[in-house]
Amino acid sequence: MKEKGGEFVWFDGKLVKWEDARVPIYTHALHYGTTVFEGIRAYAAKNNVYIFRLEDHMKRLHRSARVYSISLKYSARELANATVELLQENKVKESSYIRPLTFVGLHGIDLNVTKDSPTHTVIITFPFAKYFKGEGIRACVSSWRRIHDSMTPPLVKAAGNYLNSILATQESKRNGYDESILLDSYGNVSEASGENIFVVRHHNIYTPYFADSALEGITRETVMTIAEDLGYKVIERQIARTELYMADEIFLTGTAAEIVPVTNIDCYLVGSGKEGPMTRSIREMYAKIVSAEAKEYMEWLTPVW
């Protein structure tokens, strides 16, 4: 990661200097991708810094670790407290990204990772602004298919899964697009390389099922709540590729990307080619929530100071 983060990282229960946080070359995760991780955002607002859905992210880290029998020695609450402590120690005052990871350490070269295999947990943080530039993005449908639950489950936020996302991203960037949308093994819409997808048609909002190879996105769930509170109907269902070319609006959701309208897909304009009204109202409400301006959603925020 080229970002040089805060001075300290949290490493197995201790705050250590960034440059002293090292792992041996035999670390299993380096060889086989046996890491589960999270991506969390903290927002500078109102003279404070607010971490968005901190404990929910740590709970997902636990669910990911469980599937691969990667033992995680700290509870979600302990990891949440450690994150606050880390941001305080780093004197964080600006909007930041937080990356917790749990990985298999000196297990040897065999593949039988069990709950007794040695693991480490690290939390790092670095300043972070907007992920996608501009008002709307150009996306393509990838020629790569999303990994399927019967292979390496996409419901698990595991490092190895991102090789699939990397291939799709490289292809989209080579061809001049901002992002790729992957289909599942059966040809239905799954998700983007690092975001969940929502499609608006006939005033309803649709998003794929988890069984369509989508991650259980925390922003996805947040958006479903916001949309329903705004009076929109959100329906989980399979989405055919062609519906992307017929959609009134498309938007992607993710911690890094936040809520980003797709205004062009495979050179078809989405709707008018500008952000649609439903996307805008959800995006604006999300922006209010993360900057502590929506009282009714304050429980999603953890203040650092």
Ligand X SMILES: Cc1ncc(COP(=O)(O)O)c(C=O)c1O
- Positions marked catalytic: 157
The greatest distance separating any two alpha carbons of the chain, rounded to the nearest whole angstrom, comes to 56
Q: End-to-end distance of the chain based on CA atoms, in angstroms?
A: 27
Rounded to a whole number of angstroms, the minimum distance from the CB of residue 64 to ligand X is 11
CB-nearer residue toward ligand X: 15 or 76:
76
Which is nearer to ligand X, 91 or 130 (by Cβ)? 130
CA distance 33 to 113: 12
- Cα separation of 253 and 248, whole Å? 17
Q: Which residues bind ligand X (CB under 6 A)?
A: 39, 165, 191, 194-196, 215, 217-220, 253-255
Residue 221 beta carbon to ligand X: minimum distance, rounded to whole angstroms: 8
Which helix (H) or strand (E) covers residue 123, if one does?
Answer: strand 119-127
Question: Based on CB atoms, which residue is closest to ligand X, 15 or 137?
Answer: 137
Nearer to ligand X, 212 or 249 (CB): 212
| Minimum distance of ligand X from residue 13's CB (angstroms) | 25
Kindly tell me which of 18 and 162 has the beta carbon lying closer to ligand X: 162
CB of 169 to ligand X, least distance (A): 11
Instruction: Determine the residue type at 47.
Output: N
Residue-wise DSSP of 10-76: EETTEEEEGGG----TT-HHHHH--EEE--EEEEEETTEEEEETHHHHHHHHHHHHHHTT----S-H
Helix/strand/coil for 227: helix
- Cα–Cα distance between 298 and 281 in angstroms, integer? 19
In single-letter form, the type of residue at position 53 comes to R
- Least Cβ distance, residue 260 to ligand X (angstroms): 11
